[in-house]
Chain A
Amino acid sequence: MRRVSAVTAVLALCAAVLTGCGLSIPTDPDGTLDRVTGDVLRVGASPSGELVVVTSTDAVSGPLPDLVTGFAESRDARVVWTVGSEEDLVDALETGELDLAIGGMTEATPWTDRVSVTRGFSGIPASGGHPVVILLPLGENALQSALETYLDGEVGP
């Protein structure tokens, strides 16, 4: 039983140290959320029906881009769009050239081992009820938490 109390003590110590340092959990290993806040959110878009519409002048619109713009505004950031194929966007996320990627990706996306994938959100207009996900750099958990929290508020369950 001595070990159980030792474990509890270690956990309590961890919690105390973490809150004492003013750390927010989760934190991004590469600090994407901090960098984006009050600055620029670089988003890649891949056209998908009426969900993500790309005009001939590379202007991006649709319900999903609107949500992303809303998220950026909630962090005092403006969105810079890049248009490309899904694989191009995943490559750009991996190399750190993009912060988010949107398109017709759903929970069944095969990119899960190269990028982080948000929970699926079925409530987005024009998604046809499919659980739509947003891709972000692998392991940027603070960005993912912030984004999912925002989406829960807008189109959540």
Chain B
Amino acid sequence: MIGRMTSMGRTDLPPEQQAALRSAVRWEWFTIAYTCVTIALIALVVGGSQAMKTAWIEDMLSLIPQISFLVALLLIRHRPTRGFPYGLHRAMGVGHLVAGVALLAIGGSLAVESVIGLVRAEHPAIGTVTVFGQTVWLGWFMVAVMSVIVIGPFFYGHAKAKLAPVLHNKVLYADADMAKADWTTTVASIVGVLGIGIGWWWLDGAAALFISAGIVWDGWRNARSAVLDLIDQRARTHDDADPHPLADRIVQHLRAQPWVADASVRMRDMGQVFHVEAFVVPRRGRVRLARVEDARAGIAELDWKVQDVVVIPVETLPDETRGKERS
């Protein structure tokens, strides 16, 4: 039971979410450490391959979602205050947007770079290195490094993909989604290098273009999802696939109250939690304060995500809270 209107919303989590969050934080730190190692490894072999360079920059960019997740976590645990009456949950959305825009911009510039390289027919140069007195073509080391680092994202990608729905966290979900698709980048860079090896210089630029198109696509999806939540679209599931089912459950809960003739809800995604405005049409012209307060508490008990709730008695339900969604 939550306290009677001492504070709107809540910033602590139930045990299952707390465990998931701790696990997510551990995975994010692990990912950052792993990615730093891969960035250093690729730096040793990056050479003249545009595909390798693109994959390298993609690796650096992939740190942004993790860092913004960890930074946002520090902010969203602050309780709502007079200055920030909704809490700081939107920090997660801002982090999401920053990650999306960074991916879009840098992915776009890398795509342009690889197209220019292809049009100008710039043949990528990869020389040799000496290892233990042997002269070895650097391309082999590129292939070796990329074959080794392809493994990591499978583990942390799937682990985070399991945690994201539990926490209803879109940054984590997007991060996991990108990690799961990371192997295509790695394989593309290997193909590019082997292309250079057999004298098909254009394969390198083509692979770089493929990788940068992937970065642009990730950026577009992330930026779009972040913007839609920041401009308060109707709350949707963590993967943006469907309207969030909690909205319907809240309406059903309210309609089940004997004093309520009809109800509807306006619910927006604040980042990890929702902000709910519930509209009720009472059967009579008078409503007892305790009933409104009970309805509010009842909704808050439905789910940990819906703690910031207001219940507003109205004569007729607002149009935008009813009927089919315009797509």
Contact = CB atoms under 8 A, between A and B. Distances in A.
Nearest to B180: A3
A140 B123 CA distance: 8
B137 interface: yes
A26 to B, nearest CB: 5
A23 interface: yes
A57 B304 CA distance: 90
Contacts of B126: 26, 141
B190 A11 contact: yes
A141 B187 contact: no
A139 B137 contact: no
Contacts of A16: none
Identify whether the interface residues of B are mostly helix, strand, loop, or mixed: mixed
A138 B125 contact: yes
Contact of A29 (B130, B154, B190, B201): B201
Interface stretch (A44-52, A67-75, A144-152): A144-152
Interface stretch (B35-43, B192-200, B222-230, B275-283): B192-200
B15 interface: no
B135 A144 contact: no
Contacts of A108: none
A139 B135 contact: no
Interface of A: 1, 3-4, 7-8, 10-11, 14, 18, 23, 25-31, 113, 116-119, 137-142, 144-145, 148-149, 152, 156-157
Given A27-B198, A28-B199, A113-B122, 6 more contacts: A27-B199, A118-B127, A139-B196, A140-B125, A141-B196, A144-B128
